Amino acid sequence: MVSQITRIDVALFVVTVLAWGTTWFVILGQLGVVHPVVSVGWRFLLASLIMFGICVARADRLVLTLSEHALCVLLGLFLFCLNYGLFYTASLSLMTGLISVVFSTMVFWNALGARLFLGQPLDSRSLIGGAVGFFGLLILFRTELLSFDWQSENSLALFFCLLGTLSASSGNLVSATLQKRQLTVWNSTAFGMMYGTLLTFGFAVVLGLEIQFQWTTMYVGSLLYLIVVGSVIAFGSYLTLIGRVGPGRAAYATVTFPVVAIVVSVLFEGYQLTLLALVAVGLVVAGNWLALSKPKDRKSACRA
């Protein structure tokens, strides 16, 4: 049964979309001297420390069982290690439009995963809304899609995006499982980020990458934004939303935040909105309404 969306759910959704929609632009400040995998490590190392601080302030449980630690390791691997490592690496050669189109398919992977692994029924309105929004993104980024050379080396980067999306979707399901075990978003995410950091730096060492830091205003400033807004606030809101409305409906944020990224591009990069682009945004908004709304119950004449 589909739960009714509340004002709290809407607020969580809006915060998630605004936070992640602006990170697409900010991530560009991370690309340079420091390898993307190492940058992911720094991001979630510092974010996990903030998360643990929040847990202490909230008096959340920090002593987990062995099975809970195992699930947190999976959460860290899927959501805070492979996911971001693959997307950061793909960002070196792909335009953000292509990346966002691939990532938006998570609305379908989440719905399928929730059906197979969590026993949640498929929500037809969410799937139709996701399809409408996805079509809108195809129109919005049609130029990048049509000009993409599928036989170039960038095809591998696009494959990395797909793997990153599947990894993120798996992490969403693990988070939902942890919340069903009565862990909070804050303590499960804190441990997940910690394990994700250890795995990320472990991979970096195995790959022979230099563990370095770039003390420039651009790198440090973008890193701080990604830590506070893109990690602590965004994941706190998004994973809470998953626990409240399910992975399938929460994942519609991945279809919506590319629109915020476009708005940021209009404001700071001089992107020119065309009539077709506005139609595409309208499709995303329409899909948003379908995915997150619930039809009103019809009053029965037999109801007392």
User: Residues 83, 168: contact at Cβ < 8 Å?
Assistant: yes
Helix (H, G, I), strand (E, B) or coil at 104: coil
Mean pLDDT of 124-140: 85
R_g over Cα of the chain = 19
Mean pLDDT of 222-250: 93
Model confidence band, residue 205 (pLDDT cutoffs 50, 70, 90) = very high
Element (H, E) at 120: none
pLDDT of amino acid 276: 83
Mean pLDDT of 81-108: 83
Average per-residue pLDDT for the chain: 86
Model confidence band, residue 297 (pLDDT cutoffs 50, 70, 90) = very low
* Interval 54-78: pLDDT, tens: 999 999 999 999 999 999 999 999 9
Least confident of 34-38, 41-45, 111-115, 282-286: 282-286
Q: Tell me the whole-structure pTM to 2 decimals.
A: 0.85
Tell me: pLDDT of 79 over 60: yes
Distance, in Å, from the CA atom of 208 to the CA atom of 211, rounded to the nearest integer, reads 9
